[in-house]
Structure 1
Amino acid sequence: MDTVSVRYIVDDVVAAVAFYTEHLGFGVDIDGSPGFAALSLGPLRLLVKATRGPGGASQVMPDGRVPEPGGWNRIQLPVDDLASEVDRLRGAGVRFRNDVVVGRGGCQILLEDPAGNLVELFQPASR
């Protein structure tokens, strides 16, 4: 598989496109604003869909639940220098859900897109 697609439900597609392109280096493949956009970063294709509007990703489920942004699932983006990325993004006013966490495999931090969807920045441990 050359490309992996992930779909995020967002409140504002225009704000999501700006966030991912300006702060994380994604390119825009399809800009169907205000309801949908397809973004890419390497082999990752990120599909952002508005909570309102036509289309399968925003329709009410048979049990009455409505797709909404947020939660704990996330995409993980590898970085070479987590500390400098955190400083750069904090300087740009990006919201973080936590502080840097250090584990056996490396260190990570969770940031939120404008709708509250998570992105994990991960720096592998030196081996």
Structure 2
Amino acid sequence: MTTQELASVRYIVDDVGTAVDFYTAHLGFTLHTNPAPAFADVIRGPLRLLLSGPASSGARATPDHSAVPGRNRIHLIVDDLDAEIDRLRGAGIAFDSELTAGPGGRQILLSDPAGNLIELFEPATH
């Protein structure tokens, strides 16, 4: 799969190395390129996550008010949400929400070291 075939999302991060470590160590991403300290990108399945540090052109092009993390987030599907929660808690990762269940499945939110939201989602079995 080439980078043109991937869906890319840009996250503004405080420290590129810390972000790369978080996504690769805890969420199953692999490092694609890393011209740190300004930028790196990591890949998980068809998702390419662009990690832009303060010195990157992507971060400089972002108005100050829009760089504040909001309710938008990447959505990562997992097979066993309970096991993922236990594994991440064991690694010292805190969660931003309680486990929530609905008709489509169960989810929980956490943040990366820069405060960008991540949703872990286990689809309901029908």
Q: Mark yes or no: TM-score above 0.5.
A: yes
1:26 and 2:29 aligned: yes
Query: Which is helix-richer, 1 or 2?
Result: 2
Question: What percentage of aligned pairs have identical amino acids?
Answer: 53
Q: Structure 2 length normalisation: TM-score?
A: 0.90
Residue 28 to residue 66, structure 1, CA distance change in 2 (3 Å):
same
1:15 and 2:15 aligned: no
Query: Which is strand-richer, 1 or 2?
Result: 1
1 CA distance for matches of 2:38 and 2:119? Answer: 25
C-alpha RMSD over aligned residues: 1.6
2 CA distance for matches of 1:27 and 1:59? Answer: 26
Give the gaps of 5 or more residues in structure 2. none
Q: Runs (4+) of structure 1 moved beyond 3 Å?
A: none
Count matched residues: 123
Residue 59 to residue 38, structure 1, CA distance change in 2 (3 Å):
same
Q: Is the 8 A contact 1:9 1:67 kept in 2?
A: no
- Give 1:41's aligned residue: 44
Structure 2 letter corresponding to 1:126: T
1:58 and 2:57 aligned: no
Q: Structure 1 length normalisation: TM-score?
A: 0.89
Give the gaps of 5 or more residues in structure 1. none
Give the counterpart of 2:8 among 5, 9, 24.
5
1:69 Cα shift?
Answer: 4.8
2 CA distance for matches of 1:69 and 1:19? Answer: 19
